[in-house]
Chains A and B, each alone.
Chain A
């Protein structure tokens, strides 16, 4: 790694200096937290804003003092993320410790009560648990389907052949569609009276075919639509890996009489492993958030209710902001554990190899 010649100005943690960002962060966090707890939102907003500005200032000054370009380069992104993403996230994290309904203008600190409620309440906990199980099922099924289909499609397009460019864009199209259109049109394709699926099956059975009247069918319908829409995403990443394998490695493998299977694992796979990981990571994150297709295809019926759709109902329709925030942070915890597990396994492999 290149290192810039850093003239570090010795500051201890407690020194009040314009470039002591560590102190600024701690002070900023404490003040913001207090402000959020004590003051109404519209005042605490400005206080938190001022704190963010203060921390940002210290970073910039610090970076400037140390000729530390990394800090300067990163700061615009961090600023945008803090203001637009992290701040609202922390806000809703804070709300999860309150009894707060967005349509009522009262707020009360309740500690962990919301978490206790969603995890143990005799009416709510089983529902949340069932929704979480369904979500897990969708994550496993959709992500697996996307990885397999995307991978096979990528293999198909890995070689150069005439018109490849034009065929490839056809396969990429589904992910450019709006989810609303995909959901609405797939519900039409699955419709027993008007749907193509029913039409084709009826040619053989003579009966209208009802796909979505049982859990297996409803899940299959949703997974199919989702996998159809997002497999191209996986394909594109895998394909990029496949085409980046130098041709001479395959030539060497031919000379070395390496079998197809071994050639794939020893030569091709290492080139797509990182990309598969990225695809897996992003698709898993998105799959946890799956709600749109469920709403459009089944409204959560037939055992297809997901935690994310449940969250929309809780937080939007019923305005139970705090309860929604608590559920979503439990969900976030699960996603973080899972993605870290992915990354841990992936990193261990890379280092071990």
Chain B
């Protein structure tokens, strides 16, 4: 049974809390990405699962077994390290075979398994080379091969693609996803690259300062960010977050003072029940419609900087109140610098966050 469960897992280094009360469960065959900026505790969490860090409090349960006190070698976990951690003095083949020695299998069987994995990852040609003599992409595949050559309880990946160039990264994402799909194990991937997380994960756990902010499917975390941080962290270009004041809520429409400009936005009932009028409005750059005339339902802004992105164009605009907002418009719509824009936010993609930063959502 391949599952991972963390219950209130906490790691402290003296006074510093690297991970606080982390709750996470990964089902068999599920891929969970730990996503967050550097220093957020995602690697610590991964290492707690692996047994490379002792857990300060809470529980680590792998395959239904409490693992808190077990050293890594007894947890039966496969892991791919950030810098691959290939054994520099061993050939690629020997590197891949390294985890198999524990199983005390015959040399022929070992070779067969190494060859099979090498074939899956296209490493057949370099099996006899030293790690120092192969390319970066091959090294990465060797690291993956060394992990999947076993039949472990689960897989852990620490920033597996961070050292590859963009193109390689793209193709490796696909390959790894495919391999993992076939293996059907509980898998945790640590990454700071949201694209990686969004494409590879079944679910994403977003961490900040040692705390999991939100766990959800890629769609959930994008469409329904739990708080300001998740909203800002997921999605490119970044979500526009503007501090505003709720002046009135009537019939599902909120009147908001948008830094000097009042606009009305259709939103949910809970917004009306907020205790504090201080809110943050989050609107994704693609959720604007440019309108011909100014109205109370659109935001007045002046285009300041135009960045063509190919199919679309990113416009940096400045509102009357002095806020910078990012707007993505179709390529056909030629916006000029200095042009006045009347931007109407899509109510379905407009997120209201309360004073505590949490999303106000039904």
Q: Which residues of A approach B to under 8 Å, CB–CB?
A: 246, 248-249, 251-259, 262, 266-267, 269-270, 353
Contacts and interface: CB of A to CB of B under 8 A. Distances in A.
A267 B89 contact: yes
B87 A251 contact: no
A267 B87 contact: yes
Contacts of A251: 52, 72, 81, 85
| Chain B CB within 10 A, most for which of A248, A254, A270 | A254
Contacts of A255: 50, 52, 72-73, 77-79, 99
A256 B130 contact: no
A236 B83 CA distance: 28
A349 to B, nearest CB: 10
Contacts, number: 57
A69 B131 CA distance: 33
Contact of B81 (A252, A266, A267, A270): A252
Contacts of B87: 249, 252-253, 266-267
B101 A262 contact: yes
Interface residues of B, number: 24
B174 interface: no
A159 B238 CA distance: 46
Interface in B51-91: 51-52, 71-73, 76-79, 81, 83, 85, 87-90
B13 interface: no
Nearest to A255: B79
B102 A258 contact: yes
Contacts of A257: 73, 76, 99, 102
17 contacts: A246-B85, A251-B81, A252-B79, A252-B85, A254-B72, A255-B50, A255-B52, A255-B79, A256-B98, A257-B73, A257-B102, A259-B101, A262-B101, A266-B90, A266-B98, A269-B89, A270-B88
B146 interface: yes
Contacts of A270: 88-89
A259 B101 CA distance: 8
Interface of B: 50-52, 71-73, 76-79, 81, 83, 85, 87-90, 94, 98-99, 101-102, 130, 146
Nearest to A270: B89
A353 B130 contact: yes
B98 A258 contact: yes
A256 B89 contact: no
Nearest to B85: A252
A277 to B, nearest CB: 14
Contacts of A267: 87, 89
Nearest to A267: B87
Given A251-B52, A251-B72, A258 B101 contact: yes
Contacts of A254: 51-52, 71-73
A269 B88 CA distance: 11
B255 to A, nearest CB: 56
Nearest to B74: A257
Given A249-B85, A269-B89, 15 more contacts: A252-B81, A253-B98, A254-B71, A255-B50, A255-B52, A255-B72, A255-B99, A256-B99, A257-B99, A258-B73, A266-B89, A266-B98, A270-B88, A353-B89, A353-B130
A350 to B, nearest CB: 9
Nearest to A246: B85
Contacts of B71: 254
A352 to B, nearest CB: 11
A125 B104 CA distance: 57
Nearest to B78: A255
Nearest to A250: B85
Given A254-B72, A266-B87, A248 B81 contact: yes
A276 to B, nearest CB: 14
| Chain B CB within 10 A, most for which of A257, A259, A262 | A257
A256 B146 contact: yes
Nearest to A252: B85
Contact of B102 (A249, A259, A266): A259
Contacts of B85: 246, 248-249, 251-252
Contacts of B130: 353
A257 B77 CA distance: 9
A262 B73 CA distance: 14
A258 B88 CA distance: 15
A267 B98 CA distance: 11
Contacts of A252: 79, 81, 85, 87
A159 to B, nearest CB: 16
A196 B172 CA distance: 69
Contacts of A353: 89, 130
A353 B131 CA distance: 11
Contacts of B78: 255
A248 to B, nearest CB: 5
Contacts of B102: 256-259
A249 B94 CA distance: 14
**Interchain residue pairs A-B with the least CB separation, the first 10:** A270-B89, A252-B85, A254-B72, A257-B102, A256-B99, A257-B73, A248-B85, A255-B79, A256-B98, A254-B73
